[in-house]
Structure 1
Amino acid sequence: MRASKFLLPLLLALAASAASAQSAAPAKAAQCFTCHGADGIAKMPDAPNLAGQNESYLVKALEDFRSGRRENEVMTLMAKPLSDEDIRQLAAYYNGIAIEVKKK
């Protein structure tokens, strides 16, 4: 019984943290979450992690997908309708996610 006294507040805090991360995201980021996650950690095996990624790299990659200079069926489709401002906001969002490097 005592463990549940502490478990509920912990679960609520974790849920609030996840909701906070998603609410801080730009509007267009929701379409990225399925593959790249709201936390920037890939949810699909072929998708890269984006958390902490270099902002200028993300801008260039999205611009290249949008223009067709870089090809990927899914990313080309996702990037096509993005404005320059959308791309800037998405790159800043994923760049701003703190990452922790694990040492072996």
Structure 2
Amino acid sequence: MMSIAAVGLAFPVASMAADPAAGKAKAAVCAACHGANGIAQIPTYPSLAGQNEAYLVSALTAYKNKQRNGGQAVIMQGQAAALSDADIANLAAYYASLPAGGK
């Protein structure tokens, strides 16, 4: 079994000061692919609603740093390039706060 400390090493922990409301305001551009409520309407794009917050921070940071490739990485790298660490934390907090099934 993996300890919580080990998980923290695998996925950077989002800041406790993350603001889901600020993330929602920043998420408008994300809606084109990931859906207005984080539920993608196009099967090739992932839904973000209810996703693990630390995972979202890790993924967006990897896109920003061009460490994540394949699939739609070029698009995501461009989108993430302009995000600050606070923007990433806020977006992650917002999507993690949404119900996974969109309900």
TM-score norm. by structure 2 comes to 0.69
**Match in the other structure for 1:32:** 30
Q: 2:67 and 2:22 mapped to 1: Cα distance?
A: 30
State, as a whole percentage, how many aligned pairs show the same letter: 50
| Structure 2: unaligned runs, 5 residues or longer | 1-20
| Structure 1: unaligned runs, 5 residues or longer | 1-22
TM-score norm. by structure 1 comes to 0.69
RMSD: 2.0
One-letter amino acid of the counterpart of residue 37, structure 2: D
Runs of 4+ in structure 1 off by over 4 angstroms are: none
Higher helix share: 1
Whichever of the two has the greater Rg, that structure is: 1
Secondary structure (helix, strand or coil) at the match of 1:26 reads helix
Pick from 64, 67, 71 the counterpart of residue 66 of structure 1. Answer: 64
**Match in the other structure for 1:42:** 40
Task: State whether residues 66 and 76 of structure 1, in contact with CA within 8 Å, keep that contact through their aligned partners in structure 2.
Answer: yes
Structure scoring higher RCO (CA < 8 A, sep ≥ 6) equals 2
Deviation at 1:46, TM superposition (A): 1.5
How many pairs does the alignment contain?
Answer: 79
Q: 2:22 and 2:79 mapped to 1: Cα distance?
A: 20
